[in-house]
């Protein structure tokens, strides 16, 4: 183990990072592609004689069910991951995502089987949520325990960037399908294509993960018989309360950046400022690319600087960049796409501060309960904040079109306070390079 911790990155490390990032991107694509076809799914899986708003509410309710299922799936997989190995659960999570995604593409619609159609869609969405609940924490733990200590930030940042590219893949495929096929063709059969692709992608990524090895840290714990001797989650809740709080607040910051700035922004620009859909999707794609770059940079700086400083500086940049983005939108830039691309890519880059989040989390829990600790805090917080954030933004929009900007200012302040707190605690010490 000492030799493992002091060496440089080797070919196996890069292979592990590449396969983990690719698998994570494809699995995140499977989870997120639903939202790009929410309108179509609403028309196909619910009766025609209900109001359009109710149909969409029910569709997004099924989408939200995936978030609510995350804690249960994540906790179960993390439990076995802490006791029997990271690799087994890391491979299982992608299989549990690929199969329901493939099944969605095969589901009969409401016209064929009636009420069974939305119920089957709900079941598939719950299985997807359970899978993603194990994938993200499992991936963070897996790569952080494979690489030497001095490269954990780079590894976590690279993985976070890969997950973001899964959103880009979903956006690009949705754009391609809506461009190539007519609306009638999409409603008839083409809506199934992105789910078929997602299932195939997932099965391919699962096959690639067969070449991954168990983490050196878990092997070392097995050799020393140092695995958790009680229910890992029980130990987490009893002994790591501060780490849970910190991890949940960090997840709130992460979910706000992704949900508000990346997922909600295109629709926000279209409905509030009446920008063209094609223009907003292009800008969104550029923002996701810079988000990935920002994640990798934030992770790298955690290795070379310290996580609390990165969180402080990154949160200030997030506040400035997102405020400038939304404030500039409110002054109308529909005739200046170059300016839109510039301010949105900068906002996307600033969201890259989320690349520091997994670095802090993996240093917040001991290896024996690391998977369970991260999975419990991350998935519980994401289920709450990921689901409530769109509702909060929508309610605030009644009072000001700058509601997303104010929300991001609030979360940036949370990030600054966390950075200050981490510099004075043992968790903060653990995130420093010397830790």
pLDDT at 296: 95
CB atoms under 10 Å from CB of 392, counted, come to: 15
CB 415 within 8 A of CB 353: yes
Query: Which residues lie closer than 8 Å to 108 by C-beta, 6 or more apart?
Result: 116, 117, 120
The model's pLDDT over 358-402, given as tens digits with 9 standing for 90+, comes to 999 999 999 888 989 999 999 999 888 887 888 788 788 888 989
Selection from 3-17, 167-181, 328-342, 383-397 with the highest mean pLDDT: 167-181
Q: What mean pLDDT do residues 268-276 have?
A: 83
3-state secondary structure 252-272: HHHHHHHHHHHHHHHHHHHHH
Q: Which range, 29-33, 135-139, 204-208, 234-238, has the best average confidence (pLDDT)?
A: 234-238
Give yes or no for a contact between 378 and 369, defined as CB atoms under 8 angstroms apart.
no
Cα–Cα nearest to 161, from 342, 18, 310, 322: 18
Contacts of 207 (CB under 8 A, 6+ apart): none
Q: Is the pLDDT of residue 35 over 60?
A: yes
Q: What is the mean pLDDT of the chain?
A: 86
Per-residue b or e along 207-242, where b marks 16 or more CB atoms closer than 10 Å to that residue's CB: ebbeebebbbbbeebeeeeebbeeebbebbeeebee
What pLDDT, on the 0 to 100 scale, is given for residue 179? 84
Q: Are 259 and 381 in contact (CB under 8 A)?
A: no
Q: Is the pLDDT of residue 228 over 80?
A: no
Which has more pLDDT, 21 or 3? 21
Q: How much is the average pLDDT of 151-173?
A: 90
Q: What is the pLDDT of residue 106?
A: 95
pTM: 0.85
Give the pLDDT score at 14.
86
Tokens encoding 268: 């926000």
Q: Are 296 and 161 in contact (CB under 8 A)?
A: yes
């Amino acid at each position: 183990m000492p030799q493992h911790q002091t060496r440089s990155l080797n070919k196996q490390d890069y292979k592990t990072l590449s396969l983990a990032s690719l698998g994570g991107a494809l699995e995140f694509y499977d989870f997120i592609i639903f939202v790009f076809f929410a309108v179509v799914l609403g028309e196909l899986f619910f009766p025609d004689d209900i109001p359009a708003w109710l149909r969409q509410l029910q569709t997004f309710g099924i989408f939200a069910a995936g978030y609510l299922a995350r804690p249960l799936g994540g906790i179960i997989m993390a439990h076995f991951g802490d006791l029997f190995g990271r690799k087994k659960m890391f491979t299982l999570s992608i299989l549990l995502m690929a199969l329901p995604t493939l099944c969605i593409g095969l589901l009969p619609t409401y016209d064929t089987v009636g009420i069974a159609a939305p119920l089957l869609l709900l079941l598939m969405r719950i299985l997807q949520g359970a899978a993603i609940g194990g994938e993200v924490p499992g991936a963070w733990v897996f790569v952080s325990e494979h690489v030497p200590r001095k490269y954990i930030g780079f590894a976590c940042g690279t993985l976070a960037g890969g997950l973001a590219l899964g959103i880009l893949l979903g956006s690009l495929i949705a754009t391609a399908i809506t461009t190539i096929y007519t609306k009638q063709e999409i409603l008839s059969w083409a809506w199934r294509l992105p789910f078929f692709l997602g299932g195939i992608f997932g099965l391919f990524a699962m096959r690639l993960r067969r070449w991954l090895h168990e983490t050196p840290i878990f092997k070392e714990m097995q050799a020393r018989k140092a695995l958790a001797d009680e229910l890992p989650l029980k130990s987490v809740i009893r002994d790591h309360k501060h780490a849970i709080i910190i991890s949940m607040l960090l997840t709130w910051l992460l979910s706000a950046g992704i949900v508000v700035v990346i997922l909600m922004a295109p629709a926000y620009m279209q409905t509030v400022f009446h920008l063209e859909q094609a223009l907003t999707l292009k800008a969104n794609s550029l923002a996701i690319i810079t988000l990935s770059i920002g994640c990798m940079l934030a992770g790298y700086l955690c290795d070379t600087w310290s996580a609390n400083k990165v969180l402080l500086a990154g949160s200030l940049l997030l506040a400035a960049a997102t405020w400038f983005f939304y404030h500039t939108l409110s002054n109308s830039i529909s005739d200046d796409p170059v300016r839109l691309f510039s301010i949105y890519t900068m906002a996307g880059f600033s969201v890259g501060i989320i690349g520091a989040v997994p670095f802090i989390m993996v240093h917040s829990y001991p290896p024996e309960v690391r998977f369970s600790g991260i999975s419990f805090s991350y998935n519980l917080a994401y289920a709450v904040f990921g689901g409530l954030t769109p509702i909060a933004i929508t309610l605030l929009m009644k009072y000001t079109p700058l509601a997303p900007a104010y929300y991001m200012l609030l979360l940036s302040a949370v990030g600054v306070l966390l950075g200050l707190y981490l510099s004075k605690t043992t968790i903060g010490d653990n995130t420093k390079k010397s830790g």
